[in-house]
Each structure stands twice: as C-alpha cells, then as structure tokens.
Amino acid sequence: MQKIVIIANGAAYGSESLFNSLRLAIALRDQPEAPELKLFLMSDAVTAGLQGQRPVEGYNIQQMLEILTAQDVPVKLCKTCADGRGISSLPLADGVAIGTLVELAEWTLQADKVLTF
C-alpha cells in the first residue's frame, strides 16, 4: 500500500490552499486502492484543527478533517505552530491531535510521497 503524507500550511479560511489539500486527501481515500494517508498541519493551518467552527457560507474545514479522522487518517497539528498561536490548550476537532516535528520527520522518512500545500 502506498504511503502519502500531506503537509498543509495555509490558513483555514484565508486561502484555498488548505481546502484543496483536504479535498485531495478525501479524494485519495475514496480511491479503490486508497493509500495510507497522514496529514500534518503547520503554520496558520493549525487553526483548522480547532473545535466549534461555524463558517457562515462555503466549506467547513472542521467537517472535512472529521471525515478524514473517521477514516483513520492521522491528523496532527505542529506543536510549535500551535503554541505560537496560543491554541495548544483549546479544544480540538474530533480525532485531531498535537504533533511534533520529530513525528513529521518519521512520517516523511516512511512515506512514498510527501505533498505540500
């Protein structure tokens, strides 16, 4: 089974970068031979992991993350990035966890492909 890591950096609703990374992740999981997928959010993308998002219109990032975590896709938020934004102690969306750069390094070495957004 192919192993893919997706690293996303874009703000949850500031651009479509994170949205597109999640769209691709969901599409990959829907493939007949779905890869083993891992998602690591860095920079402003860490805010996407917060619980209680209620966008007025358009897409819902929290809902997209919960679709992936329900399919056993690990979703980690960069601890340094989350600490820097003061969100480490806030409630996270279901299945989302704080991760470290060491974990990302391990995921990267184990992966067949690493995609960045």
Comparing CA positions, the residue from 101, 95, 100 lying closest to residue 64 is 95
Rounded to two decimals, the pTM is: 0.94
Q: Are 13 and 55 spatial neighbours (Cβ–Cβ below 8 Å)?
A: yes
Q: Are 62 and 18 spatial neighbours (Cβ–Cβ below 8 Å)?
A: no
User: For the sheet containing 96-99, what is the strand order?
Assistant: 96-99, 75-78, 36-41, 3-8, 113-116
- pLDDT given for residue 8 in this prediction: 98
Low-confidence ranges of the chain (pLDDT < 50): none
- pLDDT given for residue 53 in this prediction: 86
- pLDDT given for residue 15 in this prediction: 83
Number of domains in the chain: 1
Structural domain for 28, as ranges = 3-116
Residue 54, token pair as written in the block: 């209620």
- pLDDT given for residue 14 in this prediction: 79
- pLDDT given for residue 1 in this prediction: 93
Residue 15, token pair as written in the block: 């651009």
CATH of the domain at 102: 3.40.1260.10
